[in-house]
Amino acid sequence: MSTSAQVKSIDAVVAFRGSLRMFQDQAARALLSLDEQAQGALQWLEHDAPAYWRNQIRVCYDEVGRARAALETCKMKKVGDYRPACIEEQEALRQAQRRLREAEEKLEVVRRWRQRVVDELDEYRGRVSRFRETVEAGLPRSLALLDRTINALDAYLDRPEPVENSGTAPASPPNLDATAGGKPA
């Protein structure tokens, strides 16, 4: 098994390092963006939405109370022997009660979705943890290795050709590759 790398172009290694660095940056930004979006959704489900619907429930209770009071006031009215039907007041009470039920249902839906999102986020975090570890730890190690490799190759190319014991020049000229900037490969 050969131990030589047979690097044909240091520029290709440098370009690969640049692409790997770009991938690391994009992946880190994507992970950060996903984390922020998930945290924002969870914040909304844990705090903002429940507070909104609890407030709506209070408003609806007030509306139901006003509608009941208006209905009772209407029923107490008497014009001669005639009592009004209070149809508008009854409809207003039904509408207020319907809005109250809807607000209570929405609060319950938010509670259920909150738990579902928490469960899904736990699963997401578990699945993405290996990728995150690669982006945060593995890629920096790989980039450092590429830096050392590039530096070693540059240092190797800057050295003069080893001279044989006979004191004569090497039998064949070094192989120059146009993609390596005219440096011996």
CA nearest 28: which of 108, 160, 143, 185? Answer: 143
Please answer whether residues 103 and 57 qualify as being in contact, where contact means their C-beta atoms are separated by less than 8 angstroms: yes
Please answer whether residues 157 and 8 qualify as being in contact, where contact means their C-beta atoms are separated by less than 8 angstroms: no
Give residue limits of the domains in the chain: 10-151
Write out the chain's pLDDT in tens, 185 residues. 567 767 788 889 999 999 999 999 999 999 999 999 999 999 999 999 999 999 999 999 999 999 999 999 998 887 777 888 889 999 999 999 999 999 999 999 999 999 999 999 999 999 999 999 999 999 999 999 999 999 988 888 885 655 455 444 444 444 444 444 445 54
